[in-house]
């Protein structure tokens, strides 16, 4: 196609170019002008990450062909802060805590600017309407709305945005701005797809169209001869191990003889351009023999079902036993039974998976990519290529969200393989459709519950059977179902229990880690059961939970005696008090209001007998800054900022003088996987202890230099000062750094922290003796209670969540603003889980293959969220902190479901609670039963 000439103004500069008419404005900005602030999250206009301003209007640039851009005026995030002076919107997003992963931030800010340019004082409704095309998976939108209002006030001159980076070191417990926030509000961070390596090949995998088939032959000869193609690789070209996996190397890097789900990679094509690669993919001939599709775990469990893997279709059977359930049922005056279903859920992070790889002149293969552990990816790449660790360097790039979905590789190993085999740099970026089809999912689970209690409300027994659809490969399936079993009883003391959880293979995408990691699914079932039980006993839902809730000295379902930091009942009390103060207006005509509550518990750390450790290195740079090197990764949750705060507190170095380097396998110590809400506790302790050692080393160095006792020196205000001496000498950090360099001495400290010992599930360790007083499955837990206020349309079944009150025990909050943001984001994710989200398949084929079809929550659905933080100091956590990034998701869905029942008297036993489902149940109730008699 012939090119066309276009003339447009971009950020005040005239641009003249010749382009293909079908090229989008997004592609033009990113590839021709190097303006990468606008992001490609979906290429369909569903996410809004590409939003720029065109002729004064917020437009999704991925939908605009360059043929329509001649004569237009375009504004991007890069033009918003001339000469380094932030726009009030940028200041407000940073000050309000409206930035987490940062991938959506440029688009959000530009959409907000277009609004404020035409409406300087918008209402909350107008803000939501203006930003309704912009998705955010991290923040829950609350602080984004607040930021726009702050900016509006600043632009009108009513109030200025208050933004300051502390010059002090005592910052633990303070709401400081994110250390990466300034760059993110300016659109500066380079996500993997934002930068290019000179001479890089484009890589793309040929993926199976069948959910289950035998591979009879693969013919790549024609593709290898295609124009621009450098290599076409199959499993035969892999020099090392042909499988990968976070826990078990189980999944094929490239399928060799069998495919087990739609998206299994069969071949890798590497070429000069993406267009040439796409053409070559069409030339590969794969002969498949389709096999029976196992699209249900129940079919997989049938006696004559075909085995998807050697050893059968059950990956794991986890058992939890406590007391004697026969005794428990005999003691019960009331026994309730229920069946529940929760669907597959797509993580929905806005940045599609991407990787870059290059072999350097030193023979070291370097891979740049987002992940939840560079070190875990390094191990898989080393095994695939049969290389030692010193020959493979994995460098973390900013992640546009993760939520567990970046624990497993997708394109990273393939990208490394391509670079190693060809000797050329390789770039791989997944399409949104590819990402949705291929990546791991939250497990779909089927849960059968029997719960007994005395008429006074004391729980006596729980019997549960949980079947988890773990998909085609092992991934984290066993660990996820282990958590489902361990947390099946919620934060309640139950003397007798029998729980059986099964991770079952199917021809679905692998079930892996997702926020909540197996605790989310049983929380839904248990909390609906608790609501039913309270009604059956005539008890207030709070009272039932107070009667049975965990406290210090109580024993968990797995037999651990809780000995510290158990703030569960305080979360109950805070929500109860907050609800009592609510003065709710009458519901709108045709709607019924309901209030529901739910509670939850989640582990902090790996637990179950695994060694849980992380390292930290602190060193003084020649510029007089403190560089904190950690292996943990910040995927938006704020760990870089937490590490900087802990380092400041431990060393006395001002927060403003601290920089963080995260997860570079050749520069940092391993921090383990960012999972299980563990990094604040584990990496935070490593930084705290290394910080103390650094402080001592620095003071000792200065002591020797000036001949004054180290114990009479102090590090504060950006330097070292002498105590108790009228002739005080003060040295700045810059001066100390210069002295150390002059002496050839490095001022640094490192520490590798190991968390308190945990033990395996007792039922899995018949030969190990336990001290039951010391036995712990996990070294820490976080707790939460939430209340949801909803309105249900009696005619349509539409649910509007008006308010969520969320009280959470997080230990001591390192950064209260970040804690609030995590809770708000998790609540919004829980709202989607309750009402709309579902990753659907039919016959193994993906039906929900776009972000729009996944029905992620939008800003227009944002309720009022009241966050109540319970500060229950943990004696082993850094400055009393625990962790909390996952837990706040868990109670939201059951609280909403219980509120729906309170409003219209129908029980929802399978998620999501769509309006169609609610309408059908309301119709059944009106036609068949009396009010509120329907039980699940």
Q: What is the DSSP string of 674-707?
A: S-TT-HHHHHHHHHHHHHHHHHHHHHHHHHHHHT
pLDDT digits over 853-874, tens only? 999 999 999 999 999 999 999 9
What are the φ/ψ torsions at residue 30 (nearest 5 degrees)?
Answer: -80, -45
In sequence order, what are the residues at sequence separation of 6 or more whose Cβ sits closer than 8 angstroms to the Cβ of residue 132? Answer: 858, 859, 860
Residue in this structure with the two tokens 């584990």, named with its chain if needed:
682
Return the closest-CA partner of residue 918 out of 737, 792, 752: 792
- The 3-state DSSP class for residue 841 equals strand
- Region 27-35: mean pLDDT is 98
The H or E element spanning position 743 is helix 733-743
Whether the pLDDT of residue 933 is over 60: the answer is no
Annotate 817-837 with DSSP letters as a single string.
HHHHHHHHHHHHHHHHHHHT-
Return the closest-CA partner of residue 781 out of 693, 853, 887: 887
How many CA atoms lie within 13 Å of 924's alpha carbon, on the beta-carbon side? 14
**Whether the Cβ atoms of residue 788 and residue 853 lie closer than 8 Å to each other:** no
Give, rounded to a whole angstrom, the gap between the first and last alpha carbons of the chain.
60
pLDDT of residue 935: 34
In this prediction, residue 724 has a pLDDT band, given cuts at 50, 70 and 90, of: confident
pLDDT of residue 762: 80
Q: How far apart are CA 578 and CA 807, in angstroms?
A: 10
**Whether the Cβ atoms of residue 753 and residue 684 lie closer than 8 Å to each other:** no
Helix axes 105-118, 142-155, angle to 10 degrees: 40
Which structure tokens are listed for 86?
Answer: 């932030």
pLDDT digits over 86-117, tens only? 999 999 999 999 999 999 999 999 999 999 99
* Residues β-bridged to residue 866: 805
What are the φ/ψ torsions at residue 262 (nearest 5 degrees)?
Answer: -65, 115
Q: How far apart are CA 779 and CA 757, in angstroms?
A: 7
Annotate 303-369 with DSSP letters as a single string.
TTPPPSSTT-SEEEEEEEEES-HHHHHHH-SEEEEEEEEE--B----SS--EEEEEE-TTS-EEEEE
pLDDT digits over 306-321, tens only? 999 999 999 999 999 9
Q: How far apart are CA 346 and CA 336, in angstroms?
A: 32
* Residues β-bridged to residue 562: none
Indicate the average pLDDT of the chain. 96
Helix axes 915-928, 892-904, angle to 10 degrees: 40
Q: How far apart are CA 798 and CA 790, in angstroms?
A: 10
CA dist 848 → 433, 435, 659, 818, 914 (Å): 9, 12, 41, 32, 16
Q: How far apart are CA 297 and CA 282, in angstroms?
A: 34
- The 3-state DSSP class for residue 883 equals coil
Q: Sign of torsion, CA 440 441 442 443?
A: negative
DSSP state of 28: I
Residue in this structure with the two tokens 């546009």, named with its chain if needed:
400
DSSP state of 811: B
Q: What percent of the chain shows pLDDT beyond 70?
A: 97
Which structure tokens are listed for 162?
Answer: 């208050």
Return the closest-CA partner of residue 393 out of 360, 351, 425: 360
CA dist 353 → 208, 276, 347, 388, 402 (Å): 18, 21, 12, 25, 10
Return the closest-CA partner of residue 704 out of 734, 736, 726, 733: 736
In sequence order, what are the residues at sequence separation of 6 or more whose Cβ sits closer than 8 angstroms to the Cβ of residue 319? Answer: 485, 499, 500, 763, 764
Helix axes 679-706, 639-651, angle to 10 degrees: 30
Note if the bond before 42 is cis, omega within 30 degrees: no
How many CA atoms lie within 13 Å of 655's alpha carbon, on the beta-carbon side? 26
Q: How far apart are CA 112 and CA 123, in angstroms?
A: 12
**Whether the Cβ atoms of residue 67 and residue 78 lie closer than 8 Å to each other:** no
Whether the pLDDT of residue 729 is over 80: the answer is no
CA dist 593 → 584, 586, 587, 786, 904 (Å): 10, 8, 6, 17, 8
pLDDT of residue 936: 32
Give 83: exposed, middle or buried? Use CB within 10 Å, 0-12, 13-18, 19+: exposed
- The 3-state DSSP class for residue 851 equals helix
Virtual torsion, Cα 508, 513, 515, 521, nearest 10 deg: 60
Q: How far apart are CA 595 and CA 802, in angstroms?
A: 10
User: In residues, how long is the chain?
Assistant: 936
pLDDT of residue 730: 86
In sequence order, what are the residues at sequence separation of 6 or more whose Cβ sits closer than 8 angstroms to the Cβ of residue 448? Answer: 337, 338, 339, 340, 464, 465, 466
CA dist 440 → 347, 367, 408, 644 (Å): 8, 21, 8, 32
Return the closest-CA partner of residue 450 out of 458, 462, 440: 462
∠ CA(201), CA(207), CA(210), 5° rounding?
170
**Whether the Cβ atoms of residue 271 and residue 228 lie closer than 8 Å to each other:** yes
What are the φ/ψ torsions at residue 926 (nearest 5 degrees)?
Answer: -65, -35
pLDDT of residue 930: 41
Weakest mean pLDDT among 136-150, 712-726, 755-769: 755-769
Q: How far apart are CA 71 and CA 54, in angstroms?
A: 10
pLDDT digits over 766-807, tens only? 555 666 678 999 999 999 999 999 999 999 999 999 999 999
DSSP state of 246: S
Which structure tokens are listed for 602?
Answer: 């989640």
Q: Give the ranges where 856-908 is alpha helix by DSSP (H).
A: 892-904
Enumerate domains of the chain plus CATH numbers. Answer: 1-175 (1.10.150.120), 201-291+351-400+406-438 (3.90.1170.50), 444-607+774-928 (3.30.365.10), 613-754 (3.30.365.10)
Pick left, alpha or beta for residue 348 (phi over 0 → left; psi -120 to 50 → alpha; otherwise beta). left
Residue in this structure with the two tokens 């690789």, named with its chain if needed:
233
Weakest mean pLDDT among 43-47, 595-599, 760-764: 760-764
**Whether the Cβ atoms of residue 680 and residue 853 lie closer than 8 Å to each other:** no
């Amino acid at each position: 196609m012939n090119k066309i000439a276009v003339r447009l103004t971009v950020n005040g500069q005239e641009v003249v170019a010749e382009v293909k008419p079908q090229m989008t404005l997004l592609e033009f900005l990113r590839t021709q002008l190097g303006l990468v602030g606008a992001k490609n999250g979906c290429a369909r206009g569903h996410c809004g990450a590409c939003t720029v301003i065109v002729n004064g209007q917020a437009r999704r640039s991925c939908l605009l062909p360059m043929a329509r851009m001649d004569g237009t005026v375009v504004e991007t995030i890069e033009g918003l802060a001339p000469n380094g002076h932030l726009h009030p919107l940028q200041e407000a997003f940073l000050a309000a805590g409206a930035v987490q992963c940062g991938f959506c931030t440029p688009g959000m800010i530009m959409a907000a600017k277009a609004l404020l340019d035409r409406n300087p004082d918008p209402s909350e409704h107008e803000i939501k309407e203006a930003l309704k095309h912009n998705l955010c998976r991290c923040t829950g939108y609350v602080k984004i709305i607040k930021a726009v209002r702050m900016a509006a006030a600043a632009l009108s001159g009513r109030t200025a945005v208050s933004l300051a980076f502390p010059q002090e070191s005592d910052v633990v417990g303070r709401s400081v701005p994110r250390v990466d926030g300034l760059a993110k509000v300016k659109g500066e961070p380079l996500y993997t797809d934002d930068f290019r390596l000179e001479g890089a090949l484009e890589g793309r995998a040929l993926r199976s169209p069948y959910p289950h088939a035998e591979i009879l032959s693969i013919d790549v000869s024609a593709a290898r001869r295609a124009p621009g193609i450098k290599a076409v690789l199959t499993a035969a070209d892999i020099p090392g191990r042909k499988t990968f996996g976070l826990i078990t190397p189980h999944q094929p890097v490239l399928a060799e003889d069998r495919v087990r789900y739609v998206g299994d990679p069969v071949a890798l094509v590497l070429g000069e351009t993406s267009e040439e690669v796409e053409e070559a993919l069409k030339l590969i001939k794969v002969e498949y023999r389709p096999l029976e599709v196992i699209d249900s775990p129940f079919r997989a469990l049938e006696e004559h079902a075909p085995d998807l893997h050697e050893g059968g279709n059950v990956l794991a059977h986890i058992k939890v036993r406590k007391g004697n359930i026969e005794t428990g049922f005999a003691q019960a005056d009331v026994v309730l039974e229920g069946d529940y279903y929760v669907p597959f859920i797509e993580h929905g992070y806005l940045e599609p998976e991407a990787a870059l790889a290059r072999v350097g002149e030193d023979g070291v293969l370097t891979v740049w990519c987002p992940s939840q552990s560079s070190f875990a990816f390094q191990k898989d790449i080393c095994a695939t290529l049969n290389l030692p660790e010193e020959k493979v360097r994995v460098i973390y790039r900013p992640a546009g969200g993760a939520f567990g979905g970046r624990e497993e590789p997708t394109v990273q190993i393939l990208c490394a393989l391509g670079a190693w085999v060809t000797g050329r740099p390789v770039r791989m970026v997944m399409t949104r459709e590819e990402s949705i089809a291929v990546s791991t999912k939250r497990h779909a689970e089927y849960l059968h519950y029997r719960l007994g209690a005395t008429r006074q409300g004391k729980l006596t027994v729980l019997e549960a059977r949980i079947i988890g659809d773990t998909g085609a490969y092992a991934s984290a399936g066993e660990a996820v179902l282990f958590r489902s079993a361990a947390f099946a009883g919620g934060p309640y003391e139950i003397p007798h229990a029998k729980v059986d959880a099964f991770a079952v293979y199917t021809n679905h995408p692998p079930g892996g880690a997702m926020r909540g990691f197996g605790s989310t699914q049983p929380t839904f079932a248990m909390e609906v059961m608790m609501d039913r039980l309270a009604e059956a006993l005539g008890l207030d839902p709070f009272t039932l939970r107070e009667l049975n809730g965990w406290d210090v000295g109580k024993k968990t379902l797995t037999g651990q005696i809780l000995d510290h930091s158990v703030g569960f009942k305080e979360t109950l009390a805070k929500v109860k008090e907050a609800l009592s103060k609510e003065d709710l207006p009458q519901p709108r005509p045709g709607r019924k209001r309901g209030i529901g509550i739910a509670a939850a518990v989640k582990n902090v750390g790996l637990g179950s007998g695994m060694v849980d450790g992380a390292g930290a290195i602190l060193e003084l740079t020649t510029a007089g800054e403190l560089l904190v090197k950690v292996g943990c990764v910040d995927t938006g949750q704020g760990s870089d900022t937490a590490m900087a705060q802990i380092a400041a507190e431990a060393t006395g170095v001002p927060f403003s003088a601290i920089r963080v380097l995260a997860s570079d396998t050749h520069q940092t110590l391993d921090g383990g996987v960012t999972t299980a809400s563990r990094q604040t506790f584990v990496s935070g302790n490593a930084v705290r202890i290394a910080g103390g050692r650094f402080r001592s080393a620095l003071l000792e160095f200065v002591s020797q230099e000036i001949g004054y006792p180290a114990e009479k020196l102090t590090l504060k205000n950006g330097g070292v000062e002498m105590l108790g001496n009228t002739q005080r000498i003060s040295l700045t950090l810059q001066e100390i750094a210069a002295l150390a360099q002059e002496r050839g001495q490095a001022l640094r400290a490192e520490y590798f922290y190991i968390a308190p010992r945990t033990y395996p599930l007792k039922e899995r360790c018949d030969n190990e003796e336990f001290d039951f007083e010391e036995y712990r499955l996990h070294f820490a837990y976080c707790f939460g209670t939430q209340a949801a206020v909803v309105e249900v349309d009696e005619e349509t079944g539409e649910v509007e969540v008006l308010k969520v009150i969320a009280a959470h025990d997080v230990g001591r909050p390192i950064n209260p603003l970040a804690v609030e943001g995590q809770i708000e984001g998790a609540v919004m994710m829980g709202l989607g889980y309750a009402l709309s989200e579902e990753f659907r398949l039919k016959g193994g084929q993906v039906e929900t293959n776009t972000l729009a079809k996944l029905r992620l929550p939008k800003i227009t659905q944002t309720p009022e969220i009241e966050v109540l933080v319970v500060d229950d100091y943990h004696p082993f956590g850094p400055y009393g902190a625990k962790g909390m990034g996952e837990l706040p998701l868990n109670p939201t869905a059951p609280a909403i479901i219980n509120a729906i029942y309170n409003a219209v008297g129908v029980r929802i036993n399978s998620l999501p609670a769509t309006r169609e489902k609610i309408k059908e149940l309301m119709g059944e109730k009106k036609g068949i039963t009396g009010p509120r008699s329907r039980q699940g």
